[in-house]
Amino acid sequence: MNTITAAITAVGGYVPDFVLSNQVLESMVDTNDEWITSRTGIKERRVLKGEGLGTSYLAIKAAENLFSRKNINPAEIDMVIVATTTPDMPVASTAVYVASQIGAVNAFAYDLQAACSGFLYGMSTAAAYIQSGRYKKVLLIGADKMSSIIDYTDRATCIIFGDGAGAVLFEPNQEGLGLQDEYLRSDGIGREFLKIDAGGSILPASKETVENRQHYVFQDGKTVFKYAVSGMADVSEKIMQRNGLSKDDVDFLVAHQANKRIIDATASRMGVDEAKVLVNIHRYGNTTSGTLPLLLSDFEDKFKKGDNLIFAAFGGGFTWGSIYLKWAY
């Protein structure tokens, strides 16, 4: 009896039309293009404009793009996972609404929150459902409207984040392709260094929390950078060692797009050539849960069946990890 593995069989992506360039940011806060580019690698990011449009809009568009690329019937999908740190609203699940709107009428759905590692954790979750044998088609979407929680008077954070979404379909595979191994980590020490103070059960929303601008992202940039560099590099190196992969065996590094210097440090530790490192941070900034699937969407035509992909991410909490996947088409 062949072992079932979980393979990605389709991808899709979506970014909003509005481009927030470094030049525009120069007119909003005390910063400049050279400073942003040299420290982050970001040139522009996308922002979702329009009344009543939230993360679900991005997720729906990414799913529809996936369906159109592979001519997939949404009614055949068994479950929908939306990895997001910016849900449409508290309590009511964004994924449930997305599933209904895209016509996944036979699916159950839920949200998954692990900050910038959300999509990576979602890959593990989706693959486990497939490998259980109980589900055949799991749609995993990473989507975030980061502009909804960014303070555009704070130059430390407003230069980094953008809006976007990507989607992948996981299906059973009996050729040994798909997800091969994972090494996922977390550490609550990160809680104080990357967070939103208000709006949760500890500090509910009030007139004071709004006036104190406590509903926006706070980031201790130097501390997060230090942990991210060591964390992403460590897990990527470990997953290679555990699976006997040399630098030549790795076809592509699919790394979270938070900072170009973090991506470069991870690639350097792995010994992977620059040509194998997928990068679109200069175009989109950090779209949080959207970065990994947007890379797959943008670079889909580069992948060949059997290619070895190493995924790596680091996010608030702290959350981080690496996944080794063999491309299936």
Do 149 and 321 touch, CB atoms closer than 8 A?
A: no
Do 151 and 216 touch, CB atoms closer than 8 A?
A: yes
Which candidate in 116, 158, 173, 280 is catalytic?
116
> Is 256 an annotated catalytic residue?
yes
Q: Tell me phi and psi for residue 98, to 5 degrees.
A: -60, -45
Specify whether the backbone of 247 is left (phi greater than 0), alpha (psi in -120 to 50) or beta. Answer: alpha
Task: Show Cβ contacts of residue 126 under 8 Å, excluding neighbours closer than 6 positions.
Answer: 6, 81, 138, 140, 168, 170
Cβ neighbours of 40 (radius 10 Å): 21
> Is 158 an annotated catalytic residue?
no
Q: What is the CA radius of gyration of the chain?
A: 19
Cα–Cα distance, 132 to 168 (Å, whole number): 19
Which candidate in 22, 65, 173, 256 is catalytic?
256
Strands (E), the chain: 5-14, 18-21, 44-47, 79-83, 108-112, 138-145, 163-173, 178-186, 194-195, 218-219, 252-255, 308-315, 319-326
Token code pair at residue 122? 């979602």
> Is 116 an annotated catalytic residue?
yes
Residues with catalytic annotation?
116, 256, 286
